[in-house]
Amino acid sequence: MSYTKATYEDGEEKAPGMYFLRDELDCENLGFTVVDVDADWSGMEHDHADGGHEEVYYLVDGAGSITVDGDTVSLAPGDVVRVAPTSSRQLHADESSTFVVAGAP
């Protein structure tokens, strides 16, 4: 089949409100995650230097920020931020928010 369809609740919930969909969508290289969280949530600080995996963060609704290498970037709905593999990143929700994260080597 040339396409795969899923809902984000079909994904593996890696942490509360964080749904990984790579397997459900049968992706070979692309990682795709939906983050649907409450106010005052923060994700884990991390990088992808070992795998050369860049990521794009898109705020669907709510309000939040992403800290990249110590710089905090405010996000409003519709904002998109790309983060290089070697950069440290941590996602934050100021209010109930939904983010989409896509990444690939």
Distance from the Cα of residue 22 to its chain's centroid: 12
Domain membership of residue 79 (yes or no) is yes
pLDDT digits (tens, 9 = 90+) for 38-82: 999 999 999 999 988 999 999 999 999 999 999 999 999 999 999
CATH number for 46: 2.60.120.10
Question: pTM, whole model, 2 decimals?
Answer: 0.93
Task: Work out the pLDDT band at 21, boundaries 50, 70, 90.
Answer: very high
The structural domain count of the chain equals 1
Residue 3 lies in a domain: no
User: What is the extent of the structural domain holding 20?
Assistant: 12-104
SS3 assignment, position 102: strand
Decide if 6 is inside a domain: no
Assess if residue 40 is contained within a domain.
yes
Asked if residue 95 belongs to a domain, the reply is yes
Residue 71, CB-side half-sphere exposure with 13 Å CA sphere? 6
**Would you state the pLDDT for residue 105?**
82
Mean pLDDT of 30-40: 96
